Structure 1
């Protein structure tokens, strides 16, 4: 299924699938927050560290299956494949946008 995402989210997922940390970080606001696996990562340095660690550990790729928007909030369902038990699995990426940046990302089932 082809889903039309805002360009910054399309860029994020394309970079994620290339395992390009610099490009993955580009759409995030400097003070953005990410919640994943029960942990919170706040600010560019912490988010970069999280991206680097999870990319090395899991080597995931994401096939966007569905997306819905409610104002600046986007919920993206993705089929995630990588080095983890149960792969592939559907995960939900809940983004909050602030203008042309990602202000918040929460990842979960």
Structure 2
């Protein structure tokens, strides 16, 4: 019997694609963020799902220009071989001003096939 509980990991142990995504996304670089996703990727943020790269690129561009914020890495767990959850704190000029968000990644090889962002 194997233990299926999530495993905490250090930031430097994250898969390269997740590290690169977080760096690009936190910098507001929608093009670089989208380049790390599969063509049929899905992103869910704020209760809305974006399907496929064109829809995701529009979401990334809007998200990058809507608010100004800084991020602080809070931790990560490996939920399964291809599932990782990263927590970041955002501080900025959005309603509420501060929020801890979970970024639940599903990987397909070296790319992101699914991302769910939620408090």
- TM-score, normalisation: structure 2: 0.84
Match of 2:11 among 3, 22, 31: 3
Which piece of structure 1 moves more, 55-64 or 74-83? 55-64
Match of 2:90 among 65, 80, 83: 80
- 1:16 touches 1:62 (CA, 8 Å); kept in 2? no
Residues 1:49 and 2:49 aligned together? no
Distance 2:35 2:70 in 1: 18
Match of 2:21 among 12, 15, 20: 12
Which piece of structure 1 moves more, 53-62 or 8-17? 53-62
In structure 2, runs of 5+ residues without a counterpart are: 1-9
Who is 2:68 aligned against?
59
Distance 1:85 1:68 in 2: 28
Distance 1:104 1:19 in 2: 19
Q: In 2 relative to 1, CA 64–49 (structure 1 residues): closer, same or farther, beyond 3 Å?
A: same
TM-aligned CA deviation for residue 24 of structure 1: 1.2
Distance 2:38 2:108 in 1: 8
What is the number of equivalent residue pairs in this alignment? 108
Backbone CA RMSD of aligned residues: 1.3
- 2:29 touches 2:64 (CA, 8 Å); kept in 1? no
In structure 1, runs of 5+ residues without a counterpart are: none
Distance 2:30 2:108 in 1: 21
